[in-house]
Chains A and B, each alone.
Chain A
Amino acid sequence: NAGVTQTPKFRILKIGQSMTLQCTQDMNHNYMYWYRQDPGMGLKLIYYSVGAGITDKGEVPNGYNVSRSTTEDFPLRLELAAPSQTSVYFCASRRAGGGDEQFFGPGTRLTVL
């Protein structure tokens, strides 16, 4: 049981490039989330999904896209990377129903130069 895995761990992008951050969970969780954490700050929600085929925007969705074709995978797509997207990105998952913790992946540190 690996929990929530994220790839890559680190990435440097040039302005205008695109990339996909991968997230996979093996706990059969319905809910999955993407957060970003800027230096010295808390986490902010980018997108979330309550099940395969269903996604919704969070607090800071601009510049990002997601898809959820399977229960396990929830990739985050960055189009036309900008320096403002330099951050640490966390994927998380939880099962349906109130009161359960979110399980976080180890994070992806992204730098846009």
Chain B
Amino acid sequence: AQKITQTQPGMFVQEKEAVTLDCTYDTSDPSYGLFWYKQPSSGEMIFLIYQGSYDQQNATEGRYSLNFQKARKSANLVISASQLGDSAMYFCAISNFGNEKLTFGTGTRLTIIP
């Protein structure tokens, strides 16, 4: 079974500052993928970034980067230069390379303060 733990229910960050959202995972599969999704107040799920378990380098997508520490089983999301539009729920998820099912964490509500 796979599990995602997000220990920060809510975070408040000043605009333009960087923010790190924590995610730890547990899996017995040797091959897996880690995903981050954003859910704004409108409710849709927006894919942000992906990290494969065998990827040597940390993933980056624009202002988003994933701090992947395999030995610690952590996959933290880093948002640089935060913007008001970054205010949303953020979900970390894991899937194994087989049935590709996603297991989600409980999410972190990020609020950017002007």
Contact = CB atoms under 8 A, between A and B. Distances in A.
B46 to A, nearest CB: 8
Contacts of A31: 100
Contact of A44 (B97, B99, B104): B104
B50 interface: yes
A33 interface: yes
Contacts of A56: 99
Interface in A59-96: 59, 88, 90, 92, 94, 96
B47 to A, nearest CB: 4
Contacts of A2: none
Instruction: Indicate the member of B4, B99, B100 with the most A CB atoms within 10 Å.
Output: B100
Interface of B: 4, 31, 33, 35, 37, 43-45, 47, 50, 52, 91, 93, 97, 99-107
Q: Which of B4, B102, B107 has the most CB of A within 10 A?
A: B102
Given A42-B104, A45-B102, A98 B33 contact: yes
Interface residues of A, number: 27
Contact of B102 (A88, A98, A102, A106): A102
25 contacts: A31-B100, A33-B102, A35-B102, A35-B104, A40-B106, A42-B106, A43-B102, A44-B104, A45-B101, A50-B99, A58-B101, A92-B102, A94-B100, A96-B100, A98-B33, A98-B52, A98-B97, A99-B33, A99-B52, A101-B35, A101-B47, A102-B47, A104-B37, A104-B44, A104-B45
Contacts, number: 60
Contacts of A90: 45
A59 to B, nearest CB: 8
